[in-house]
């Protein structure tokens, strides 16, 4: 498989680069690879739009003055921890 075909058919890497770009910087090569992939992949373009929107909403939630006092109750935390441990211990 040629290098261009590899770039255009690798959604897993594209989603990784989309996430990495939201957190920090990506290299020039990564930017080019992502741009080429997004040009040909409508699914990853949708994923990118959704990820950007979700990230914005989460940032707004945590930066909201109203929600600075909001905390998870202990029962919810315990239930969530139990569910995580159950998933991790599955065969």
Contact assessment for residue 34 and residue 2, using Cβ atoms and an 8 Å cutoff = no
Per-residue pLDDT of the chain (91 residues; tens, 9 = 90+): 566 666 556 899 999 999 999 999 999 999 999 999 999 999 999 999 999 999 988 888 777 755 566 677 899 889 989 988 888 887 6
Residue 6: per-residue pLDDT: 64
Question: What does the pLDDT look like over 49-65, one tens digit per residue?
Answer: 999 999 988 888 777 75
- Residue 27, classed as helix, strand or coil, is coil
* C-alpha distances out from residue 29 to 9, 35, 78, Å: 16, 10, 44
* pTM exceeds 0.75 for this model: no
């Amino acid at each position: 498989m040629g290098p261009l075909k590899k770039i255009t058919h690798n959604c897993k890497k594209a989603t990784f680069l989309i996430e990495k770009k939201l957190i920090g910087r990506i290299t020039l090569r990564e930017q080019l690879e992502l741009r080429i992939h997004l040009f040909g992949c409508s699914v990853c373009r949708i994923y990118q739009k959704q990820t950007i929107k979700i990230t914005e909403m989460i940032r707004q939630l945590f930066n909201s003055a109203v929600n600075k006092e909001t905390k998870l109750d202990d029962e919810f935390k315990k239930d969530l921890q139990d569910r995580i441990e159950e998933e991790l211990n599955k065969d």
